């Protein structure tokens, strides 16, 4: 008759086998679905921006909700990737918002200095918070930050770190920032030309690298949403004007 130890080992083997059988397909589907979903999302997004000319408020709210959130929802449904959901955990809101203010302030200060030295001029105080359009623009910036954080960092970077977990962090960050900038280049081409185009591509690429490092360190989507919104407002106020 088998001893008690033998029975215990058999039970342990059965539990381990059962666990591996449930997680292996999920990991396989993560690798199988990831890049096709990213590529299809890119093609649909470019087609949407090329064929339609909706108002900015529509693009930054409903447009990005459709083209960025739905692919993530489909991916999470198919693969049960809990890491993407965990980035938006309610427990992370307070810490994330405080970090977002700090990181966004640093990004904004750097962008303001670039605009100041590149164009010259003087620093002037402006009553931004009393402006009729400031809070509306800030709301749109928050929407942009939320949808893009969801897609490019909570989704793209999380899965890149899973699929290429043996890569050094710098490689994971650079690949994430490459996906980020590829999605933004078509719109930048429409808005800018010549040296301004290259300058904006480098500026936005540097921002995406910074965001990727923050996400890798904190795993907190709220920090990126707020820092993205602050960054966008700085570009609107100091760079694009």
Strands (E), 154-222: none
Residue 22 pLDDT = 37
Cβ atoms within 10 Å, residue 163: 16
- The one-character DSSP state at 150 is I
Residue 62: enclosing H or E segment and its boundaries?
Answer: none
pLDDT at 4 over 70: no
- The one-character DSSP state at 166 is T
Of the given ranges (111-125, 177-191, 214-228), which has the lowest mean pLDDT?
A: 111-125
User: pLDDT of 90-149, one tens digit each?
Assistant: 999 999 999 999 888 887 777 666 666 665 555 555 556 567 788 899 999 999 999 999
User: pLDDT of 187-206, one tens digit each?
Assistant: 888 877 666 788 888 889 99
Q: What is the mean pLDDT of the chain?
A: 83
| Distance from C-alpha of 53 to C-alpha of 83, rounded to nearest angstrom | 35
pLDDT band at 38 (very low <50, low <70, confident <90, very high): very high
Residue 2 pLDDT = 52
**Most confident residue range from 9-18, 21-30, 64-73:** 64-73
% pLDDT > 70, the chain: 76
Mean pLDDT of 207-236: 92
- Number of helices (H) and strands (E) in the chain: give both, helices first: 11, 0
Sign of the torsion formed by the C-alpha atoms of 12, 17, 18 and 20: positive
């Amino acid at each position: 008759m088998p001893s008690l130890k033998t029975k215990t080992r058999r039970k342990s083997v059965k539990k381990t086998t059962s666990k591996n059988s449930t997680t292996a397909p999920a990991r396989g589907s993560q690798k199988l679905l990831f890049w096709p979903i990213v590529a299809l999302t890119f093609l649909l997004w470019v087609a949407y921006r090329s064929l339609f000319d909706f108002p900015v408020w529509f693009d930054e709210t409903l447009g990005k909700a459709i083209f960025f959130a739905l692919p993530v929802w489909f991916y999470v449904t198919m693969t049960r990737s809990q890491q993407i959901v965990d980035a938006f955990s309610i427990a992370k809101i307070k810490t994330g918002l405080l970090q977002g203010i700090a990181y966004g302030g640093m990004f904004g200060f750097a962008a303001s200095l670039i605009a100041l030295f590149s164009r010259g001029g003087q620093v002037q105080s402006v009553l931004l918070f009393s402006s009729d359009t400031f809070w509306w623009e800030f709301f749109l910036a928050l929407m942009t930050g939320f949808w893009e954080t969801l897609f490019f960092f909570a989704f793209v970077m999380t899965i890149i770190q899973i699929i290429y977990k043996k890569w050094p962090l710098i490689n994971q960050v650079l690949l994430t920032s490459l996906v980020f900038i590829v999605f933004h280049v078509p719109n930048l081409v429409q808005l800018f030309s010549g040296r301004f185009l290259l300058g904006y591509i480098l500026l936005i690429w540097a921002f995406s690298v910074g965001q990727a490092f923050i996400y890798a360190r904190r795993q907190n989507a709220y920090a990126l949403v707020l820092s993205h919104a602050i960054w966008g407002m700085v570009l609107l106020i100091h760079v694009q004007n």
